[in-house]
């Protein structure tokens, strides 16, 4: 697929590396240091461009910048993203990682969706970048789980396949409003990894009994 990534930091480059390895075409964008962006993209085998270039031919656009930069990143392209799929990876973390800037009565997923009213936003927070950049993604003997939600079922399935391509296990939970719970769940993981000292080789997963294995599409909608 043609994938435009907005943000070329720890997460954006980790996703780019794994998506390129699966044969996807990747354009990296949105850095305050354009020569560095160019070097980073070239080293990975991706292309570098402006946000407008990254989104123009993309079938899936990945939000991999800080949540607080969303409005700036999307300001030139927000209204133009008709029917495009947006894979929103942002978690609205406080800068010191001590908690979330917003949550439970709204979410970064919903606030970002309001910036791109014509697009199909899918919230799916990937595993830690340290895992994406390491040889194996497996944690405790299996792939990390990624909870995923969005209002358009086709877009959710497409992002779920990309989540598999990066080596993680997608768990589709329902409509975009579930971002209100997906984001705090990932905040818990951040706290365990960094405040509680477990480190980044930790991940979420869902364990369910056989009677709960009724659907791989959605646990609740
Ligand atoms: N890192 C992880 O393990 C991880 C995992 C899951 C989700 N996430 C989410 O992914 C997003 C990106 O995280 P990250 O760790 O990749 O961050 P990061 O390493 O700091 O990268 C942020 C990217 O956004 C760009 N950017 C452009 N304008 C910016 C601005 N005004 N302020 C800050 N950055 C700006 C940065 O460019 P320059 O710095 O080159 O200018 C860089 O390419 C966050 O929303 C985070 O919650 C991260």
Residue 212: predicted pLDDT: 66
Q: Is the pLDDT of residue 217 over 80?
A: no
Separation of alpha carbons 77 and 51, rounded Å: 8
- Please give the distance, rounded to the nearest whole angstrom, from the Cα atom of residue 132 to the centre of ligand 1: 14
- Please give the distance, rounded to the nearest whole angstrom, from the Cα atom of residue 158 to the centre of ligand 1: 23
Nearest to 99 by CA among 195, 1, 216, 206: 195
Strands (E), 30-67: 47-49, 60-63
- Please give the distance, rounded to the nearest whole angstrom, from the Cα atom of residue 9 to the centre of ligand 1: 5
Taking the alpha carbons of 26, 175, 77, 93 in that order, is the dihedral positive or negative? negative
- Please give the distance, rounded to the nearest whole angstrom, from the Cα atom of residue 19 to the centre of ligand 1: 18
Residue 164: pLDDT band (50, 70, 90) is very high
Ligand 1 closest atom vs CA 131: 3
Residue 94: predicted pLDDT: 98
Q: Is the pLDDT of residue 215 over 60?
A: no
Query: Could you tell me the pTM of the whole model?
Result: 0.96
Mean pLDDT of 52-57: 96
Query: Probe ligand 1: pick from 11, 126, 130, 134, max atoms within 8 Å of CB?
Result: 11
Mean pLDDT of 119-135: 98
Mean pLDDT of 78-99: 95
């Amino acid at each position: 697929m043609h994938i435009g990534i907005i943000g070329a930091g720890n997460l954006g480059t980790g996703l780019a590396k794994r998506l390129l390895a699966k044969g996807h075409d990747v354009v990296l964008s949105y850095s305050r240091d354009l020569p560095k962006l160019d070097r980073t993209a070239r080293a990975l085998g991706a292309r570098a461009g402006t946000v407008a270039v990254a989104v123009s031919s993309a079938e899936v656009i990945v939000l991999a910048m800080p949540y607080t930069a969303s409005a700036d990143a999307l300001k030139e392209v927000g209204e133009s993203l008709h029917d495009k799929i947006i894979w929103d990876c942002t978690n609205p973390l406080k800068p010191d990682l001590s908690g979330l800037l917003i949550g439970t009565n709204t979410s970064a997923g919903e606030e970002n969706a309001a910036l791109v009213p014509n697009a199909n936003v899918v919230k799916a927070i990937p595993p830690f970048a340290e895992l994406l950049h390491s040889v194996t993604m497996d944690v405790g003997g299996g792939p990390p789980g990624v909870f995923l939600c969005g209002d358009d079922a086709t877009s959710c399935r497409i992002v779920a396949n990309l989540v598999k391509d990066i080596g993680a296990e997608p768990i589709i939970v329902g409509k975009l409003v579930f971002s209100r719970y997906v984001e705090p769940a990932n905040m818990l993981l951040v706290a365990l990894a960094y405040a509680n000292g477990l480190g980044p080789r930790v991940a979420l997963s869902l364990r369910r009994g056989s009677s709960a294995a009724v659907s791989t599409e959605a646990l609740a909608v």
